[in-house]
């Protein structure tokens, strides 16, 4: 029988980033540590999570169906579009390390000039990887996803026009975690484990 209380609708959410190797919270309602930075506003499209598998099937003589079905590779991706323009999002979108960015301070005299960030893009030598934390929230329920090591593997075009903000649409792919740990961890509140 259906139970409407088990339905999660992602009415809100947050994304956090930190350096690879940072310590994740130990529960879905624990506060994110000081290592993690809030990545800012996400568009109403929310989070799109995908899990793809490459499988190998082995046949046997005289059998009309595969006798072994092996998962060879699992790829997990997480897609979000961010509204704000910040140094972390610029770094991720353009794959430029902070060390290769320069901040020029504002000046007031003789002519006022605003502070600005400058960097080049197009160098394949820069690879920006992060630990990524995601919260999907609805009426007290929470699905927390923690990706130990993630890289940006797809980017949407940035549109500069008067109809919308200049958004950073990023798809993150979960990469192998340091030290053989789980690459992706999930915490989901109010879900009972069946008795075996």
**150 near 132, Cβ under 8 Å?**
yes
Q: What is the pLDDT of residues 137-160, one digit of tens each?
A: 988 899 999 999 999 999 999 999
Given pLDDT bands bounded at 50, 70 and 90, which one contains residue 131? Answer: very high
Q: Are 78 and 145 in contact (CB under 8 A)?
A: yes
Cis previous bond, 105, omega within 30 = no
The per-residue pLDDT of the chain, averaged, comes to: 93
Angular region, 108: left φ>0, alpha ψ -120 to 50, beta rest: alpha
Sign of CA dihedral 36, 38, 43, 44: positive
Instruction: Map out the domains of the chain as residue ranges.
Output: 13-24+36-53+76-98+110-188
- pTM attached to this predicted model: 0.90
The Cα–Cα gap between 169 and 155 comes to 6
Domain 13-24+36-53+76-98+110-188 matching CATH 2.40.50: the answer reads no
Q: pLDDT tens digit string along 13-38?
A: 999 999 999 999 999 999 999 999 99
Going 16 to 20 to 23 to 24, the CA torsion angle's sign is: positive
Spatial contact of 130 and 39, defined as CB atoms under 8 Å apart:
no
Q: Which residues pair with 80 in a beta bridge?
A: 170
CA 153 – CA 77 distance, rounded (Å): 9
What are the tens digits of pLDDT across the range 35-59? 999 999 999 999 999 999 999 999 9
């Amino acid at each position: 029988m259906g139970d409407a209380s088990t339905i999660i609708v992602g009415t809100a959410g947050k994304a956090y980033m930190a350096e690879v190797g940072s310590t994740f919270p130990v529960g879905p309602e624990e506060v994110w540590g000081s290592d993690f930075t809030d990545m800012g506003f996400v568009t109403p499209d929310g989070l799109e999570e995908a899990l793809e598998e490459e499988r190998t099937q082995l046949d046997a003589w005289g059998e009309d169906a595969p006798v072994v079905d092996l998962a060879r590779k699992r790829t997990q991706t997480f897609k979000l579009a961010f509204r704000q323009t910040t140094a972390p999002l610029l770094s991720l979108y353009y794959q430029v390390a902070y060390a290769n960015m320069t901040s020029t301070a504002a000046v007031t005299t003789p002519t006022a000039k605003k502070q600005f960030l400058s960097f080049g893009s197009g160098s394949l030598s820069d690879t920006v990887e992060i630990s990524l934390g995601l919260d999907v929230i609805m009426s007290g329920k929470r699905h927390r996803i923690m990706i130990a090591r993630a890289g940006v593997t797809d980017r949407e075009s940035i549109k500069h026009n008067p109809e919308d903000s200049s958004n950073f649409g990023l798809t993150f792919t979960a990469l192998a975690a340091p030290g053989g740990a789980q690459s992706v961890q999930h915490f989901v509140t109010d879900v009972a484990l069946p008795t075996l």
